[in-house]
Structure 1
Amino acid sequence: MNKVLVVEDSPVVLKVLKHLLSQSDFFVPVLCASYEEAKQVLNEQDKASFFAAIVDLNLPDAEDGEIVDFVLSFSIPCVVLTATYNDALRLELLNKGVLDYITKDSRYSFEHVVGVVERLKKNQSVTALVAEDSSTSRLFIKALLEQYQFNVITVENGQEALSMLESEPNIRLLITDHNMPLINGYDLVSMLRQSARFQDLVIIGLSAEGDNALSARFIKMGANDFIKKPFYHEEFHCRVIQNLESQEMLETIRNMDALDALTQLKNRRYLFDEGQAYFDKQASSSTGVGLAMMDLDAFRQVNDIYGFMVGDALLKEIGGLILSCFPEALSARFSGEEFCIVAPGGVQFDDQLKGFIASLKETVFTEAKIPMTCSIGVVQTHDAGLEEAIKVADARLYEAKSRGRDQIVTG
């Protein structure tokens, strides 16, 4: 859990922020009503344990924003709340390194400030690539992104950017200048959008040259946005976050269509629509492909004895266990209590199945402490199709059932 320091003299605002932060699984609010109280907390507690701070600019014992400098002196990301808007002061605070300057003019203001802190948490798992031939601009953009907790990689031209994107599959954001040697930003975007692999990559173009036609060309070629240099860092942050959140929303919608809502495994439709390509890729490898059909033993008795709510909770926990035991597999809920696992074959798949069975027997599920076993039919092949492999594995699954359940049949 990450501590968030909240310094605010209004009891009502403190209560609202405490409520909003406490709804998150990641944050613990630490509340202070004055500058002196905040100083005492930061001097007595481990500063590194504070993930961020939300501070009122005008406190009764520090009316001139002293709390901001004090918090920033500990390198704690800081968001300022204030009752009045002052543009000159806002610029001064942002130049100091404050993340955002938000006026307390509605309930949305408080939701927005908590949203900024939540975004920081998300950004810690986002890798951004900056392609910029100017060392000054490259370092400036890197600093802006790191202020918002992004993991940042920098390169000097489009050719290096392509190589980095090929070798680092976790890059989710690309900031690219237009005028670069070897491959310019416009051509880089064009190359990337021709590959389905980079369809979810958020791309923002930059340039100090050209007119509005250049920004239109970038976006028509597939960039998510375009920013004209010079830009102020508040605009940069807003554009980056807005585009990331739009892409995350699209991915969420896509996942909803592909996932089984209860177990968070892929659903049957996804298995048959997308599974053949994954199956063929693994089948062509040296180890071949492994496919397992699993069915929980006597699951209907769980519903009869404990009810459907407990049965659903059990299936949810089984889904989590499958994901942990087969991290690289395509794992799908095939029907009610039946699951299909498609994974790299060979000894690795055998070991994963054994590990799953061992974990299943070591675990009692749900608050009802229900023990569970399963029957499994397995196929390992280099050439059979997905549907044919499912039929063979399903037949072996029912053979395992007929032999007394709680076992694996491989052929």
Structure 2
Amino acid sequence: MERILVIEDNKTLANLIAKKISKELDIEVDVAYSMSEAKLFLKGYKYFLTLSDINLPDAPDGEIIDYVIKTGNHVIILTSNIDKNFRRKMFEKNIIDYIHKSGIEDINYIIANIKRLIKNKQHKVLVVDDSVVFRKQMKDMLNNLFFNVITVAHGEEAINILDTTPDISLVLTDYNMPVMNGLELTTQIRKKYKKSELCVIALSGQSDDEEIALFLKSGANDFIKKPFSKEEFSCRVNNSIEALENINEITNQTIRDFLTGLYNRRYFFKEVGKYFDNAVRNDENFSIAMVNIDDFKQINDRYGQDMGDKVIVHLADILMSETSSEDVVARFGGDEFCVLLKNVSSENAINVFERIRQNVLTSVAMSDKDEEIRYTISIGIALNYEDTLEDTVNEADMYLYNAKENGRNQVVYK
């Protein structure tokens, strides 16, 4: 579990912040009311984040901020000081944010900020800039926001990284670079990645409206003029990542089954249809199977629909664990699943589905009353493709029907 340290001499405020963070984020929170107490906590624990006031009884001039940074901890400043010059001076230090403590909305902002930082740990960012100074500056700022960062000097290097590291979420690219400039890089990226798949933020020190428009027309999500403030940089990067997450969430809602998280029927026929045509054309071996829970109605009748849902999720987990990341597992509805095994011989496909059947047979799903629910499945496999994907799925469904008619708890294939 992540751990956060709140350093604040106002005990009422400190305890309120700690209580809300613990409740909403399930994070363990320690509270220190002075610098001496904070030192003890920092020596005893490694913190995900430190929220600190500037003026403490035993450190009235902001000494605590320098101390926390020196220990290698990430810092968000909480203060009632609204002086702009002082704020600017604090941002020259390696802090994440500077927040005025004026009411409950500020606490809500802190919690939203923490949620964002936790999510950032899941994202990789590629920085492309021929300036060593700017590369380091951006890497330090991004690391402080908990991103995983890769840096390169020009566009051609960036293309190579993207080819070998497909899970990058954001590219930050300078305009003027040797070998391949930022505009050329953005154009190349958009030939392979949509805006909904990869964010691009362009940066330039000699930008005009025409240059900004060129980048945006070429597919950049945003543009930052150099030199930039740490606050502007952080906001633009976080906003781009958040927009990407929102798009992915909406997309997932349309292609994923709400109960199991597996792909749905619509996605299966759309995406697997493309694979099916290519596989048939290239004579690639694959198998499609229909999987169904035996006597599922009896499970619902005896234990209730909630338990029936748990059995469906239990089977979904087994199907995912016994197939590879390249295969496709979809829930068609109810207790009916369809599985595509790619690039597999008939013999190996049969072995995989027989192993799945055995796994289900020997495992149990647990009810809310700690009852062991045992169940079996029937599987029909189409080892050879028909004229269309739909015909091949229907073939597998026919073998599934045969498995049911012949006594259930078996794998039937041609």
Same fold (TM over 0.5): yes
Q: Look up the match of 2:80.
A: 83
User: Once structures 1 and 2 are overlaid, which stretch shifts more, 194-203 or 280-289?
Assistant: 280-289
1:114-133 Cα distance to aligned partner (Å, 9 max, x none):
22222222222211111112
AA matched with 2:383: Q
Find the counterpart in structure 1 of residue 340 from structure 2: 342
Q: For this pair of structures, how many residues does the alignment match?
A: 408
Contact 2:366–2:372 (CA under 8 A) maintained in structure 1: yes
Give the whole-Å Cα distance in 1 for the aligned partners of 2:14 and 2:356.
Answer: 47
1:277 Cα offset (Å) = 1.5
- Structure 1: how far apart are the matches of 2:350 and 2:88? 61
How do residues 221-300 of structure 1 correspond to structure 2 at under 5 angstroms? 221-281=218-278, 288-300=285-297
- Which amino acid is 1:385 matched to? T
Q: Which amino acid aligns with 1:222?
A: G
- The equivalent residue for 1:5 is 5
User: Contact 1:193 / 1:199 at 8 angstroms: preserved in 2?
Assistant: no
Tell me the amino acid that sits aligned with residue 410 of structure 2: Q
Query: Hey, what's the Cα distance between the residues in 2 that align with 1:162 and 1:198?
Result: 16
Q: Closer, same or farther in 2 for the Cα pair 1:197/1:362, shift >3 Å?
A: farther
Q: 1:361 Cα shift?
A: 3.1
Partner SS state of residue 96, structure 1: coil
Counterpart Cα distance in 2 of 1:7 and 1:402: 68
**Structure 2 residue aligned with 1:38:** 38
Q: Secondary structure at the match of 1:204?
A: strand
Rounded to whole Å, the distance in 2 between the matches of 1:352 and 1:30 is 49
Deviation, 1:287, is 5.6
RMSD, matched Cα: 2.3
Residue aligned with 1:194, SS: helix
Q: Distance in 1 between the 2:223 and 2:77 partners? A: 28
Partner AA of 2:156 in structure 1: Q
Residues 196, 35 of structure 1: CA spacing in aligned structure 2 closer, same or farther, 3 A cutoff? closer
Letter in 1 for 2:356: F
TM-score w.r.t. length of structure 1: 0.92
SS of 1:133's equivalent in the other structure is coil
CA drift of 1:96 comes to: 1.8
Greater shift, 144-153 or 243-252, is seen at: 144-153
3-state DSSP of counterpart to 2:383:
strand
Equivalent position of 1:145 in the other structure: 142
- What residue in structure 1 maps to residue 22 of structure 2? 22
2: CA distance, partners of 1:245 / 1:343? 34
CA drift at 1:110: 1.3
**Distance of aligned partners of 1:404 and 1:382 in 2 relative to their CA distance in 1, 3 Å threshold:** closer
**Partner of 1:76: helix, strand, or coil?**
coil
Partner SS state of residue 403, structure 2: helix
Q: Which runs of 5+ in 1 are unaligned?
A: none
Instruction: Give distance in 1, aligned partners of 2:135 and 2:96.
Output: 20
Distance 1:354 1:21 in 2: 48
Q: CA deviation at 1:264?
A: 0.9
Between 7-16 and 122-131, the greater mean CA deviation after superposition: 7-16
Once residues 94 and 362 of structure 1 are traced to their aligned partners in structure 2, the CA distance between those partners, rounded to angstroms, is: 59
Residues 152-161 or 222-231, more deviating: 152-161
Aligned residue in 1 for 2:404: 401
Distance 1:370 1:9, change over 3 A: farther
Q: CA deviation at 1:52?
A: 1.3
**Does the 8 A contact of 2:53 with 2:79 survive in 1?**
yes
Q: What is the TM-score normalised by the length of structure 2?
A: 0.91
- Once the 2 structures are TM-superposed, how far is the Cα of residue 290 of structure 1 from its aligned partner? 2.1
Residues 121-156 of structure 1, C-alpha deviations (whole Å, 9 max, x = no match): 222221111111222222222222112121111222
> Partner letter of residue 125 of structure 2?
A
What per-residue deviation string (whole Å, max 9, x for no partner) do you get for residues 235-280 of structure 1?
1111000011011101111111111111111111111222212334
Q: Does 1:136 align with 2:133?
A: yes
Aligned residue type for 1:342: L
| 2:67 corresponds to which of 59, 66, 70 | 70
Distance 1:9 1:280, change over 3 A: farther
Letter in 2 for 1:31: V
303, 310, 321: which one aligns with 1:306: 303
* Cα distance in structure 1, aligned partners of 2:350 and 2:28: 43
